[in-house]
Structure 1
Amino acid sequence: MADTILLEIVTPTGVALRKQVTDVTAPSVAGEFGVMPGHLPLLAALRTGLVTYHEEGREHRLAVAHGFVEVVNDKALLLTERFMNKDDVDVVKVRLRLKEVDDQLDHWQGDLTDPKRRQLIEEEQWLATQLELIGDPPLPLVREDTRFLAQNAEAPPENEMVEGQTPDESLTDHRKPGSTFPES
Structure 2
Amino acid sequence: MSTFLLEIVTPEHVVFSEQVSSLSVRGIEGELGILPGHIPFVTPLQVAPITIRMEGKTLAVAVHGGFVEVQGNKVIVLAESAEMPQEIDIDRALAARERAERRLNAGARDRIDHRRAELSLQRAITRINVSSRSKE
- TM-score, length-normalised on structure 1? 0.67
Q: Residue 124 and residue 86 in structure 1: after superposition, are their counterparts in 2 closer, same or farther (change >3 A)?
A: same
Matched with 1:130 is 127
Matched with 2:85 is 86
Is the 8 Å Cα contact of residues 108 and 114 (structure 2) preserved in structure 1? no
Alignment of 1:52 with 2:79, yes or no, is: no
Matched with 1:6 is 5
> How far off is 1:109 after superposition?
4.4
- Structure 2: 5+ residue stretches without partners: none
- Structure 1: 5+ residue stretches without partners: 137-184
CA–CA distance in 2 between the matches of 1:26 and 1:109? Answer: 30
Matched with 2:107 is 108
Q: How many residues align?
A: 133
- TM-score, length-normalised on structure 2? 0.90
Matched with 2:69 is 70
Matched with 1:18 is 17
Q: Residue 108 and residue 39 in structure 1: after superposition, are their counterparts in 2 closer, same or farther (change >3 A)?
A: same
**1:70-114, CA deviations, whole angstroms, 9 ceiling, x for partnerless residues?**
1011111111111111112222121112111211121124222x2
**1:157-183, CA deviations, whole angstroms, 9 ceiling, x for partnerless residues?**
xxxxxxxxxxxxxxxxxxxxxxxxxxx
- Work out which of the residue numbers 118, 121, 133 in structure 1 matches 2:118: 121
Alignment of 1:28 with 2:51, yes or no, is: no
Residue pairs, 1:156-171, within 5 angstroms: none
CA–CA distance in 1 between the matches of 2:99 and 2:118? Answer: 12
Tell me which protein shows more helix as a share of its residues. 2
CA–CA distance in 1 between the matches of 2:108 and 2:44? Answer: 30
Q: What root-mean-square deviation, in Å, do the aligned CA atoms of Structure 1 and Structure 2 show?
A: 1.6
